[in-house]
Amino acid sequence: MDVKHIPLEKIHEQLGAKMVPFAGFLMPVRYSSDMEEHQTVRKGVGIFDVSHMGEFILKGEKAIDLIQKVSANDASVLHDGKVQYSYLPNDQGGVVDDLLIYQISPIEFMLVVNASNIEKDWNWIQSQNEFDDGVEMVNISDGTCLFAVQGPLAAQALQPLTNAKLDSMSYYTFEKTDFAGFPNVIVSATGYTGAGGFEIYVANEQAEAVWNAIMKAGEPYGIKPIGLGARDTLRLEMGYCLYGNDMDETVSPLEAGLGWVTKFTKPFINSENLQQQKNQGLTRKLVGFELIDRGIPRSHYELCDADGNRIGEVTSGTQSPTLGKGIGMGYVPTEYSKPGSTLFVKVRDRLLKAEVVKLPFVKK
């Protein structure tokens, strides 16, 4: 399969990035070290180029009806300038993808989806569009770049570039505003790091100028480019799921901890079966755990009971730069899911003791 290229690939190479294939795209995984880049975002400000993500525009009188059908969350509570986290349930009990929904107007929405699922999501939503001329769908993914400027100093670093009052933007809201000399740029108070910050959507032809403007404005605050390696440790410290690791087409969203965005106050795809599962009770759950013994849990390592019997597997795991210990997530039977429960991670032939903890691992 041919690898796709993001528009600023050459800039990342010039900055010394190690480029690796990820989700079908050649992406910067690190520029210096994962540890240094992680701490830059936790304590200061960093910029990620995440232009591999997908963006769809849904317009029309029936756009909200299509979204309500394909999304488990209740989009009727949205208002202009509001963002909502949700997921697309499939009809087999699993998850097509998780996504963000932006309400631009009552008849126009932007959906932001995972890079690896752009084509799948597009085809799925189109296949569910029974509203004839009531919804126009436009895939703007190939023409859109996305920069995530994350960290406690993000608002200060970006403020000279826009008239929007960044400090007063509420979490999960956005504005269409001027930015770095360009009009109608979407700036949203969202992110995947738990460190605070903003995501900026620009047309490909504006991307280089906007990237350079952000890097220049961020100089006094020590801004650095950040790769996917640190993005993964940052999101895992917050207990954020990664599609393809912690959930997929075969995993129940209720088991994955997505009950909070599953709204049974309206019908949606497979809602009756998910309601039944909720009523019957779950047999397993996604949990977070910290290693008590020294070691690093990795994806697909076995999770065991005290006798060494397999009870699950690690879906995401790493050495937490903030906590200085191994952390991970995985699915276990519900009797092992309460905080304080003991698990063991099988690393080669050793059983490393771990404790189930309440997420997030690192408090905001």
All residues at 6 or more sequence positions from 24 whose CB lies less than 8 Å from its CB, including other chains: 1, 3, 4, 52, 115, 116
Any idea what the Cα angle at residue 114 is, between residues 209 and 196, rounded to 5°?
A: 60
Length of the chain measured in residues: 364
Flag whether 199 is marked binding: yes
| Angle in degrees, CA 218, 222, 226, rounded to 5 | 85
Q: How far apart are CA 78 and CA 137, in angstroms?
A: 19
**Between the CA of residue 357 and those of 47, 292, 336, what are the distances in Å?**
30, 12, 11
Cβ neighbours of residue 324 closer than 8 Å, sequence gap 6 or more: none
290's tokens:
């910290």
Question: How many separate helices (H) and strands (E) can be counted in the chain?
Answer: 8, 20
Q: Which residues are annotated as a binding site?
A: 199
Q: Which residues are annotated as a binding site for substrate?
A: 199
